[in-house]
A and B are shown apart, each in its own frame.
Chain A
Amino acid sequence: MMNHLSEEQFVLYYYGESGGSAGVREHLDACEACRGEYANLQRVLNIVDAAPVPERAANYGAQVWRRLEPELIGRGTRWTRWLVPVRWPMRHWAAIAAMAGLVVAAFLAGRYYPKPHPSPQMAAGQVRERILLVAVGDHLERSQMVLVELVNAHPGQALDISSEQERAGDLVAENRLYRQTAARTGDASVAGVLDELEPVLLEIANGPARLTSEEVDKLRRRIEGDGILFKVRVVGSTVRHREEKAAANPGQKSL
């Protein structure tokens, strides 16, 4: 009795992959049923080619370069990149600029306003605190996303983490700023978790972009073993809650 060809053999034969193609050809010549099956497969794969791809203009490469160029120039060396993390989203620049402005305003208010009327300082302090809470909450959320992506990577497979690496590199600079600010304002829980987060982000940012399956597992164990993901989640949620409370009661201190 003749054994018919398997679906695997059909597919390999269609794509010209090695694996007894001469035998398959002979069988197809001799077996009408398999010939019919193979013709069906050919028709299906031929209509897959019908899936259109939108055409790009002839100057598409130039358009890509125009979008890319500012990013590449901003990237510079590792050192300048650290000084100027150009890929921070605009809202972070806005938050940092607002914080800096408020620090100056608070200083000037303290310097020139009469002592018995401290309300401008208090208001500035409350606003500054809210801006900081929003920025830290956002920072923890984005850090959490990087960690979750790495923890959820397919086990036992090599992985290209260059995207996570780049984000971790940006997060390190922010992390240092927020940690120092939290320590100065006496916010021990936030400062503590940012302190623990920093070496993990540094390890991701400065390690190889392409991890072997063993390195992926090691990194996953490092993230899970330290419980850093859990801590980031908990503190992130607490910060969000505080920020919401501060927004609802602008006159009260939320710390």
Chain B
Amino acid sequence: MELTDSVAVAQARDGDSGAFRMLVERHSRHLFRLAYRMTGHQEDAEDVVQETFLRAYRQLAKFDDRASFGTWLYRIAANCSLDLIRARKRRSENQEGPEEGAPDPIQSLADGAPTPERLALSGEVERRVAGALDELSEMERAAFVLRHYEGMCIDDIGRTLGVQPNAAKHSVFRAVQKLRRALEPLVSTA
């Protein structure tokens, strides 16, 4: 019989690696989806999944049994993703500064929208959506992914990201505003 998460967590705490393995196998795919949407890169998402389980294993004793293990795990994954995005951003800032007079990336995404037929044929929509998501700040992207794809309420997003609900709400708003600016030209021609 398949163990529930809470039974598996209790057994894993007692040193049963098989129970922890079951949790890993059960949650990995969903974690990957979340991590990929947060980071936008397959390799980074793989690293996030790995790091999330390492952190979870280390903090297993701190896990509150009354909470959902899945939600707890997704919180860790969201924070791992944020750490990774910040580290990546710092690295790229150290490597090269923004070019003087460089065009606004959001504006350039919105400019010159090709016809819907071409968009549909070339997968341009997918690329533009990915590009628009990449232009969000790490907090905006995290809050938006948790709201839009994971269906988390604003209060839970705030708790997950360690910010006040109001800050989480504004991050979602800013993300939606930026996405509208970047993507509205695509839908208004449809």
The interface of chain A, by Cβ under 8 A from chain B, is 7-8, 11, 15, 17, 40-41, 43-45, 47-48, 50-54, 56, 60-62, 64-65, 67-69, 71-73, 75, 149, 152, 157-160, 162-163, 166, 209-210
**In contact, B80 and A163 (Cβ under 8 angstroms):** yes
Contact of B129 among A51, A75, A163 (CB under 8 A): A51
**In contact, B147 and A51 (Cβ under 8 angstroms):** no
- With both chains docked as a complex, state the minimum distance between the C-beta of B139 and any C-beta of chain A, in angstroms: 9
Contact of A162 among B55, B184, B186 (CB under 8 A): B55
For the A-B complex, the count of residue pairs with Cβ-Cβ distances under 8 Å equals 120
Instruction: Name the prevailing secondary structure of the B interface residues.
Output: helix
**In contact, B32 and A56 (Cβ under 8 angstroms):** yes
The interface of chain B, by Cβ under 8 A from chain A, is 17, 20-21, 24-29, 32-33, 36-37, 42, 49-51, 53-55, 57-59, 62, 76, 79-80, 83, 86-87, 90, 125-126, 129-130, 133, 147-148, 153-154, 162-163, 172-173, 176-177, 179-180, 183-184, 186-188, 190
Interchain CA distance A8-B186 in the complex, whole Å? 22
**In contact, A51 and B130 (Cβ under 8 angstroms):** yes
With A7-B177, A11-B172, A51-B133 in contact, is A64–B33 under 8 Å at CB?
Answer: no
Contact of B126 among A41, A51, A75, A162 (CB under 8 A): A51
- With both chains docked as a complex, state the minimum distance between the C-beta of A154 and any C-beta of chain B, in angstroms: 9
- With both chains docked as a complex, state the minimum distance between the C-beta of A145 and any C-beta of chain B, in angstroms: 9
**In contact, A53 and B36 (Cβ under 8 angstroms):** yes
Which residues on A sit within 8 Å (CB–CB) of B163?
Answer: 157-158
Nearest CB to that of A71 among chain B residues? B54
With A45-B148, A48-B179, A162-B58 in contact, is A64–B24 under 8 Å at CB?
Answer: yes
Interchain CA distance A217-B23 in the complex, whole Å? 35
Nearest CB to that of A153 among chain B residues? B86
